[in-house]
Structure 1
Amino acid sequence: MAEIGRRRLEAQLNHATSGDISGGRHSQRQTMHPSLEYYLYVPNGWTQTTLLVIMTTGDGDKLKEAFRPFADKQGISILSPIFPREDGNYSFLHHNGIRYDELLLQMVHEARTENVSIVGDKFLLYGFGAAAQFVNRFTFLHASKLLGVSMGDPTNVTQLDDELDWPLGTKNCNMKKELEIDDLKQLQVHLFIATNTVKTSCTMHLPNELDLLEQSLNSQGVVTRKSIIPAESTEEEKCWYAVMNFFADAMKISNSLTT
């Protein structure tokens, strides 16, 4: 990890809030750098929980509130990083000397260390829109860390294609880390799109982008699950039921393989 990222992550916390809500406890922690703020929700009544990381394109309050009942029922702790979103550059994993993928892994490590109920060495990961682009690229580099991923309406995908230069494909991916293709083939992957998107010159590419990603994954032996949801591209909340259903199934499959 870049030294600048390590120093910031280990910086003294100057702000933290916590409390009990929706049958669980939550906290929001902030260091001296805004990219290191993250939200964590741990449900009560569970001695063991699976970690779900939610990448958001805004403050994510509505999303986190919607997922809390699901977390309470399924035994899921929710971690949501709050990265800078002014230009969406975090979705490319590396920007201005900061490796956002490695920062996320450090946050996950911290959450597990400080909460004994968060178990397992893998986590679930979700993103929509620009956040889905982060999920897309993170998955290629860190598939071994993941239990299942769900990404919706990514506008600029990275294909699993070593003939296309990064970030369109995986050729010349200068991340100082090998792609985890073998682990990717074992991963449960969910792709979805809102089909009622108005077909303007700015949005015509949406279905094609998702199709390109799906085709590139399938061609390399990665099995995907795809949902086509009747909603506008701005109505992410109408897609959440499909995401929750996928994660519930992913956990069942994982549990069946370990028992």
Structure 2
Amino acid sequence: MNQPVELKTIERGHALYDLGATAMFACKADPRFHYCLYVPPCVGQGGKVDLLVAVHGTSRTSFLDFRDGFSAFGRWNDCAILCPVFPVGVRGDDNRSGYKYIAEGDIRYDRVLIAMVAEVAAKYGQDWSRFAMFGFSGGGHFTHRFAILHPERLWAASIGASGSVTLLDPNRDWWVGIRDLKQRFGIDFNAAALRQVPVQMLVGDADLETWEITHKPGGTYWMEGANDAGRTRPERLESLRRSFEAAGVQVRFDLLPGVSHDRMKALGKVQDFLAAVLKSRRER
């Protein structure tokens, strides 16, 4: 029996815009923020997959690089890719970096991301109560801070070339340390939960420019200790590694030879890490 034309149209639209490389969607919880996905074809037949959230850097253009760059990985490893978009200047002030530090005015970017995940999990009938997260540069900022605040939501975290880092220092306030997490975010630091998250940190050994990452008095994110973790991105990520490992977190550290601040040259190592974590996770 032939299907009604209306039903065929609905199914065709679903295949075109909701599966594979999807359209761009506004987040229902806060339509100022958007996302797109790569959804493996098996989901269209009721398949169950895992989720990777891939967070863009300051330019915001990398969300498409990540959606498309992880698409083959997602298809063959049964993993959907969610790429949020946090625009510049959401509050009308041209701020490029608000999302990197989780809170900006009354916006909590961690809550926006959690709402996005809940939205797409419901849409596709998936259990994405835990997911993996990767971010490079500005996305690396977001990823490691999200892991500090919400480790129980992650099955893996890959932190790429973060320009500034939040150390697990109970003697300094956010964003340099974590002393005031409870007052600022209403969240107690859960070291035991973070120890359960496989963590990768990666940066190119030639990623040495400092013009964008050196904090100066009067800057939006200036505070005492802002530059103490190191001068360059490799130095700062090494400080973050030591901080996490001192808290008992196991960290895979990849220093990429001859690589500067190039997100695409990091993706192979990220996929190797995530594939290994998925294999171990599914064998349990």
Q: How big is the alpha-carbon RMSD for the aligned residues of Structure 1 and Structure 2?
A: 2.1
TM-score (norm. length: structure 1): 0.85
Q: TM-score, normalised by structure 2?
A: 0.78
**After alignment, is 83-92 or 215-224 more displaced?**
83-92
The equivalent residue for 1:106 is 115
2 CA distance for matches of 1:253 and 1:247? 10
In structure 2, the partner of 1:38 is 35
Output the CA distance in 1 between the equivalents of 2:275 and 2:232.
30
- Name the residue aligned to 1:221: 248
Q: Residue 156 of structure 2 contacts residue 197 of structure 2 at CA under 8 Å; is this kept in 1? A: yes
Residue 181 (str. 1) matches residue 178 (str. 2): no
Assess if the C-alpha contact under 8 Å between 2:161 and 2:261 holds in 1.
no
SS of the aligned residue for 1:45 comes to helix
Does the residue aligned with 2:96 lie in a helix, a strand or coil?
Answer: coil
Pick aligned residue for 2:160 from 152, 165, 171: 152
Q: Quick check: 2:148–2:194 contact (8 Å CA) kept in 1?
A: yes
Who is 1:69 aligned against? 72
State the match for 1:56 in structure 2: 56
For the structure 1 residues 18 and 167, does the alpha-carbon distance in structure 2 shift closer, same or farther, using more than 3 Å as the test? Answer: farther
For 1:7, the equivalent position in structure 2 comes to none
Q: Would the alpha carbon gap of residues 64 and 176 (structure 1) be closer, same or farther in structure 2, given more than 3 Å must change?
A: same
Pick the aligned partner of 2:127 from 109, 116, 119: 119
Contact preservation (8 Å) 1:198, 1:232? no
* Structure 2 residue 233 is matched with structure 1 residue 206: yes
Instruction: Report the CA distance between 1:64 and its aligned residue.
Output: 1.5
Contact 1:92 1:137 in 2 (8 A): yes
Q: Which of the numbers 91, 95, 111 marks the counterpart of 2:104?
A: 95
Q: Are residue 84 (structure 1) and residue 61 (structure 2) matched?
A: no
Please tell me whether Structure 1 or Structure 2 has the larger radius of gyration of its CA atoms. 2
Gapped regions of structure 2 (runs ≥ 5): 1-12, 89-94, 214-230
Q: Structure 1 residues 115, 219: CA separation in 2 closer, same or farther (over 3 Å shift)? A: same
For this pair of structures, how many residues does the alignment match?
239
Structure 1 residues 231 and 238: alpha-carbon distance in aligned structure 2, compared to 1, 3 A threshold? farther
Greater strand share, structure number: 1
Deviation for aligned residue 1:148: 0.1
Unaligned runs of 5+ in 1: 1-16
